[in-house]
């Protein structure tokens, strides 16, 4: 009898290990490793075949029962371990599916996997350059590329993070140290629009700021921050004895992909001597395209920028970045002081990654970005992102033409938010997702449910968007 460890209420019971199983040595032989590699590769290819259409894409089933216990006592064969993993993988939203347009897709480029494979296999210590200067520079070349992409000067630098949330926390701390060092944080104030990402509020709390430090600025009809309202709030707060220090502008909101008016916001910041952070986690890489560049050109004026390669560069989850206009601010906030690291004093032109964020030991994250860029070339990414902008225009036209739907805003990037005029958006979403033809998600905009198509998967093409629209129309009938 096989036991389904996920079945509700079933006590967690490990699969019995085959009796003839000898545990794999910690240092396997080459042929053992090859066997592992072949089996894992076959598993991955089987999963990719499922991802590559034309099978249904559906939400994960609801969580039931307890998580199975890890059986670490009786070593199992790779085949049985992969069977377990297969069963676990089946119960998931397939975020790599071309039909996946929910939340913010990334996709997970297959080639990036080998960047991680190499990075983990080499396992050199790269956050202190002295330990592996050559490899550390592979990663810093990625950071430099990001700085150049946004038009930053030579003073700029940055750090690869685990994602946008880690980037914004790092930025808030850097801004706090730059503008409020030694000040009473109880009076601190930072500004973000009501469409700003929730990670901004969380970062402010984690950076030691009181809950009311985060001031929420209203948006206009296109969900863009209102710079006049921002300026008035800053003046009022100053007058009341607060210490405004930071504005977080969205360069592509999660809800609608709206880009805040970056240049006017930078003008307000300059007038009041505040730090501007641009949250470009979702939207940033559209700067590779001509249309994106027109919207995002002022990014170079911002003091710091979140970029999420696991969104706009289609990389696997766990790949974020923070770049700052003046690297000295990161060093001031994060430079380490540890006697036991004294043998590794840095004299290179770039600071150690360990001096640019709160992380110390970690993987050579840069290879995951570096390898795909080297293998595919940047124009492959530019073309893919340009296609996503076209697809969003296509989807928004198709929905706007249908009298049963209304667009919530004109898409500036690759996110289309709409409502069912009859007011049954939540029901429509459920029925589209149950169809297996497209995976969408919803949000609340001005207090009402809106459905979003976020078109960012590198595998998502015209046929998939047309299929999504057909599914939406069918569900509305």
Q: Summarize as ranges the residues that interact with ligand PLP (CB under 6 A).
A: 104, 163-165, 197, 199, 250, 252-254, 279, 281-282, 308, 320
- Min CB(155)–ligand PLP separation in Å: 25
Between residues 197 and 329, which has the closer beta carbon with respect to ligand PLP?
Answer: 197
**What gap in Å lies between CA 164 and CA 108, rounded to an integer?**
16
Q: Alpha helices of 288-440 — where are they, by DSSP H? A: 290-296, 309-312, 327-334, 367-376, 378-401, 425-435
Between residues 129 and 256, which has the closer beta carbon with respect to ligand PLP?
Answer: 256
Between residues 197 and 368, which has the closer beta carbon with respect to ligand PLP?
Answer: 197
Q: Which among 396, 395, 353 has a CA at the least distance from the CA of 170?
A: 353
Between residues 281 and 472, which has the closer beta carbon with respect to ligand PLP?
Answer: 281
- Min CB(95)–ligand PLP separation in Å: 12
- Min CB(101)–ligand PLP separation in Å: 14
b/e map 73-107, b = 16+ CB within 10 Å? eeebebeeebeeeeeeeeeebbbbbbbbbbbbbbb
Between residues 164 and 351, which has the closer beta carbon with respect to ligand PLP?
Answer: 164
Concatenated DSSP letters of 135-155: HHHHHHHHHHHHHHHTT--TT
- Min CB(10)–ligand PLP separation in Å: 33
Closest residue (Cβ) to ligand PLP?
A: 164
- Min CB(250)–ligand PLP separation in Å: 6
Contacts of 289 (CB under 8 A, 6+ apart): 382, 385, 386, 389
- Min CB(178)–ligand PLP separation in Å: 21
- Min CB(195)–ligand PLP separation in Å: 9
Surface-to-core class of residue 220, CB atoms within 10 Å of its CB (0-12 exposed, 13-18 middle, 19+ buried): middle
Between residues 320 and 351, which has the closer beta carbon with respect to ligand PLP?
Answer: 320
**Which position has the token pair 């033809």?**
437
- Min CB(363)–ligand PLP separation in Å: 17
Q: Which among 54, 62, 128, 39 has a CA at the least distance from the CA of 350?
A: 128
**Which position has the token pair 């949000």?**
443
Between residues 129 and 409, which has the closer beta carbon with respect to ligand PLP?
Answer: 409
How far does the chain reach from its first CA to its final CA, in angstroms?
46
b/e map 180-205, b = 16+ CB within 10 Å? beeeeeebbbbbbbebbbebbbebbe
Between residues 53 and 359, which has the closer beta carbon with respect to ligand PLP?
Answer: 359
**What gap in Å lies between CA 119 and CA 124, rounded to an integer?**
8
Contacts of 26 (CB under 8 A, 6+ apart): none
């Amino acid at each position: 009898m096989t036991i389904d460890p996920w079945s509700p209420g079933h006590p967690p019971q490990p699969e019995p290990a085959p009796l003839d199983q000898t545990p794999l040595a910690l240092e396997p032989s080459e042929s053992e490793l090859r066997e592992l590699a072949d089996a894992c590769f076959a598993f991955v290819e089987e999963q990719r075949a499922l991802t590559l259409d034309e099978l249904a894409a559906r939400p994960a089933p609801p969580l039931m029962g307890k998580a199975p216990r890890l059986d670490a006592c009786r070593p199992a064969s790779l085949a049985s371990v992969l069977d377990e993993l297969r069963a676990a993988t089946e119960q998931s939203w397939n975020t790599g599916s071309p039909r996946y347009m929910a939340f913010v897709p990334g996709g997970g480029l297959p080639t990036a996997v080998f960047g991680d494979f190499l990075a983990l296999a080499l396992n050199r210590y790269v956050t202190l350059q002295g330990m592996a200067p050559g490899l550390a520079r592979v990663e810093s070349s990625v950071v430099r590329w990001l700085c150049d992409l946004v038009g930053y000067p030579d003073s700029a630098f940055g750090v690869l993070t685990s994602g946008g949330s880690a980037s914004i926390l790092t930025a808030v701390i850097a801004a706090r140290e730059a503008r409020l060092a030694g000040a009473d944080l109880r009076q601190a104030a930072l500004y973000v629009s009501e469409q700003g990402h929730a990670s901004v509020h969380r970062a402010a709390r984690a950076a030691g700021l009181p809950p009311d430090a985060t001031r929420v600025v209203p948006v206009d009809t296109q969900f863009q921050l209102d710079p006049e309202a921002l300026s008035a709030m800053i003046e009022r707060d100053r007058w009341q004895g607060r210490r405004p220090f930071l504005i977080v502008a969205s360069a592509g909101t999660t809800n609608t992909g709206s880009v805040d008016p970056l240049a006017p916001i930078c003008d307000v910041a300059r007038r009041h001597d505040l730090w501007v952070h641009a949250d470009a986690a979702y939207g940033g890489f559209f700067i590779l395209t001509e249309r994106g560049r027109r919207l995002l050109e002022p990014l170079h004026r911002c003091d710091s920028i979140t970029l999420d390669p696991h969104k706009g560069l289609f990389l696997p989850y766990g790949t974020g970045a923070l770049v700052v206009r003046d690297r000295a601010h990161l060093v001031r906030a994060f430079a380490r002081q540890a006697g036991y690291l004294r043998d590794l004093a840095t004299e290179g032109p770039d600071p150690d990654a360990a001096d640019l964020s709160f992380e110390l030991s970690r993987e050579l994250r840069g290879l995951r970005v570096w390898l795909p860029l080297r293998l595919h070339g940047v124009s492959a990414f530019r073309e893919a992102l340009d296609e996503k902008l076209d697809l969003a225009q296509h989807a928004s036209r198709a929905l706007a033409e249908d009298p049963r739907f209304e667009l919530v805003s004109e898409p500036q990037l690759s996110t289309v938010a709409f409502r069912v005029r009859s007011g049954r958006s939540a029901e429509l979403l459920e029925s589209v997702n149950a169809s297996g033809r497209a995976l969408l998600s919803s949000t609340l905009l001005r207090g009402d449910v809106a459905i979003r198509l976020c078109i960012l998967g590198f595998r998502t093409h015209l046929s998939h968007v047309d299929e999504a629209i057909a599914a939406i129309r069918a569900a509305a009938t």
